Amino acid sequence: MSARLEIENLRVAYGASQAVAVDRLVVEPGTLAAVVGANGAGKSTLVNAIANWSRAAPRVEGAVRMDGEDIAGRAAHEIVKRGLQLVPEGRGVFMGLTVEENLREGAPSDAGPGRRSYSIDDVYELFPRLRERRSTAGGSLSGGERQMLAVGRALRMAPKSLLLDEPSIGLAPRFVALLLRTIRSLVDDGLTVLLVEQNVRAAMEVTDVVHLLERGRLIASGPVDEMRDDPRIVEAYLGGGHG
């Protein structure tokens, strides 16, 4: 049912400077993996490269496999059609379109085996707040509503795997908790999710696996219960509170 996401020898460079060099990163089907790290560690560059999507057009090499099929190098919209969906950092919604118009574009209901399609109503079930705001322009939404809409837009494409880039950024704590809980429930329903987060503590609450990214390289990986006690994470991100 769920997709296995496998990244191998991924190298991303802007001009002469290499931003990301990840040898191997696997997200098992129906699990949630979090990539944590400091600002500028290359987290966004990593997920953007997996989706072959960027505003800066970096040079990307390496393999991205979903259920064994190499999708690296395909056009961004082709990757979306194959079921790998990115929710980009910041504004992932169209400001000039209403909530409902933002949700209009979606995968066909017979998107393919192993893909759960979401109707606009399904998205409203998941985020009732969006139903209330259905005729509001994306630009008039609060940060939390905007992020819900971004996730809703992504679900409309019937993804097998979801890449989330900093969904918690700029959100009030209660929105962060609500959003991450919803994402966890999607994972429990079978979605494969790779989450990039600066809010390490919040990510730890919901994730199965943690990867620590530093200067574009994965320096530690493991199940969340082991990583909680990893000194590199404790010192830098959890302030020793879990020691």
Partner 1 sequence: MNLLQQVVNGVIIGHAYALVAVGWTMLLGAARLVNFGHGQMYMVGAFVAWWFMRLTGLPYPVAVVAAVLVGALIGAVMQRLLMRLTLSRDLVSLMIVTLGFGQMLEGAAGLTFGARPQTLTSPFQSMTLHFGAIWFTVQDVILVVATLVVFLALRLLLNATKFGVAVRMVAEDPVLTRLAGIDIARVYMGIFAFEGAAVAFAATLVAPRTPILTSMGFDQVVTTFVVVVLGGIGSVGGSYVAGLSLGLFTALFGALVSPAYTTAAVFALLIAVMALRPGQLAASANFAR
Q: Which is nearer to partner 1, 66 or 206 (CB)?
A: 66
Short-list 185, 212, 178, CA closest to 197: 212
Point out which span in 59-67, 103-111, 113-121, 222-230 binds partner 1 (CB under 8 A): 103-111
Tell whether the torsion through CA atoms of 204, 207, 213 and 219 is positive or negative: positive
Q: How many CB atoms lie within 10 A of CB 119?
A: 13
Single-letter residue type at 240: G
Told to check if 167 binds partner 1 by CB under 8 A, we report no
CA distances from 36 to 13, 96, 142, 185, 198 (A): 20, 32, 25, 21, 6
Instruction: Please say which residue, 16 or 56, places its beta carbon nearer to partner 1.
Output: 56
Using CB under 8 A as the binding rule, whether residue 181 contacts partner 1 is answered as no
Q: Does 59 bind partner 1 (CB under 8 A)?
A: no
List the beta bridge partners of residue 85: 162
Check binding of 115 to partner 1 (CB under 8 A).
no
Q: Is 109 in the site for partner 1 (CB under 8 A)?
A: no
With CB under 8 A, what is the number of residues at the site for partner 1? 24
> What residue ranges bind partner 1 (CB under 8 A)?
51, 53, 55, 75-77, 80-81, 85-86, 88, 91-92, 94-97, 101, 104-105, 107, 153-154, 157
